[in-house]
Amino acid sequence: MGSVSEKGIHTDFKDNMTYGEYLRLDKVLSSQERLSGHHDEMLFIVIHQVKELWMKLILHELNAAIAAIEKDELPEAFKMLARVSRVQEQIIQAWDVLSTLTPAEYTEFRESLGRASGFQSYQNRLIEFALGYKQPHILKIYEKDQDLARELKSAFEAPGIYDVAIHALRQAGFPINLDLLTRDFSITYQGDPTVAAAWLEVYRDVDRYWDLYQLAEKLVDIEDSHQQWRFRHMKTVERIIGSKTGTGGSSGVKYLRSVLDHQFFPELWDVRTKL
């Protein structure tokens, strides 16, 4: 069979924007500079840059969802949170690609990283802040860039998505502890009996509290996926460098394993036992 002719395809772009220009591919595709010149360093750079792009989208959706929940626009937030879950699937699978890097290959260019480390990913920190996980000592890492430091401090002190979900419970008429609504949001949430009781009622009367039930399940989806990402991160690092200290000075696998037990939304997990 002969080839199909696409007579309508545009070929003259002297006065029109191209695909590459729209996506600024000249900047994106020129940003993979191998400092060691080693073949496998390209994999390492691309994987981490791609993950940072996905994280940018996660933050875009999480922050919009927080704003929507604050305005009592729960259905709008559901679409954003569902998209976060789909993005999380992508970054979880990315570890499969990085795991093709063997320990022998990584040692060939590891020194080129200097003190740079994924531990310093500020977008990962912003995601943790949006999910309510706040660690004060983390902020010191970013003091070099004052604009970034201010952005992180602002996010550190702002209510996370679970804080606005708790406010939504109060708005729905549940007797939530009022101290939670004005608490210091820079402190990681630890749980509260009034929140536990409210979620239990939501799960016992799904038809009446359908939107809150949907919100709860969307949050569980996100925490579940984030913990899967953390686990895959830990196992990939263990596979490549064992128990060595990270390039940024962290304890590496030991640190990554230590955060696996943290729960962002504790009552949403406890309610499963109480039902």
Annotated binding site for heme: 233
Query: What are the tokens at 17?
Result: 């924007």
The per-residue pLDDT for range 214-247, each reduced to its tens digit, is 999 999 999 999 999 999 999 988 988 888 776 6
Provide mean pLDDT across the span 102-119: 88
For residue 27, being part of any structural domain is answered with no
pLDDT score of 5:
65
For residue 230, being part of any structural domain is answered with yes
More reliable by pLDDT, 1 or 17: 17
pLDDT score of 16:
84
CB 127 within 8 A of CB 59: yes
Domain range enclosing 62? 38-116+130-274
Annotated binding site: 44-48, 106, 110, 233, 247
- Counting the structural domains of the chain, the total is 1
Burial code (b: 16+ CB inside 10 Å, e: under 16) for 236-250 equals bbbebbeeeebbbee
Long-range contacts of 256-261 (CB under 8 A, 24+ apart): 256/230, 259/230, 260/227, 260/230, 260/231, 260/234
For residue 10, being part of any structural domain is answered with no
For residue 241, being part of any structural domain is answered with yes
Provide mean pLDDT across the span 266-270: 97
Q: What angle do CA 261, 198, 130 make, to 5 degrees?
A: 45
Domain with residue 95: its CATH number is: 1.20.58.480
- Total-model pTM: 0.91
pLDDT at position 131 over 60: yes
For residue 156, being part of any structural domain is answered with yes
Q: DSSP 3-state assignment of 263?
A: coil
For residue 186, being part of any structural domain is answered with yes
Annotated binding site for substrate: 44-48, 106, 110, 247
- CB burial of residue 190 (10 Å; 0-12, 13-18, 19+): exposed
- Residue 209 CA to residue 21 CA, distance in Å, equals 47
For residue 30, being part of any structural domain is answered with no
For residue 58, being part of any structural domain is answered with yes
- Residue 127 CA to residue 123 CA, distance in Å, equals 6
